[in-house]
Amino acid sequence: MKKTFEFTSNEGQYILRNTNPNEKREAFIIDKKEMQFDTNQFYQYVFSDVKTKMEVEILDKTDENDSAAKRFFGVISEITSGVINRMNEKCFSASKL
């Protein structure tokens, strides 16, 4: 299975939104002024419904000249990739099933 998200930004926020049209939850938002990353909220938004081995893709939809957004996208992508790889390895590998 695969989950896809879009990473965007506007003047005041970084936004991570699930691209599934059936998604009912609000997007995960980081306020640019506060720059508070709520790890629990992030986990709940991205990983809480993962029940089987999964691939997660985040599409960068930010302005190509926005270096701060590109750095933040890199951090979000790295965290997501690391967590989903560990979940797939520890929770859903053939030896665990």
Domain assignments of the chain as residue spans, ordered by start: 2-91
Q: What's the pLDDT tens digit per position in 2-31?
A: 999 999 999 999 999 999 988 888 999 999
C-alpha distances in Å from residue 52, one per residue of 8, 45, 48, 82:
27, 16, 11, 16
Which of 69, 74, 70 lies closest to 11 in space, CA to CA?
69
Outline where DSSP puts E strands in 1-97.
2-9, 13-18, 28-31, 55-60
Model confidence at 53: pLDDT above 50: yes
Q: What's the pLDDT tens digit per position in 61-77?
A: 999 999 999 999 999 99
Report, in this order, helix, strand and coil percent for the chain, each rounded to 5.
35, 25, 40
Q: What's the whole-model pTM score?
A: 0.87
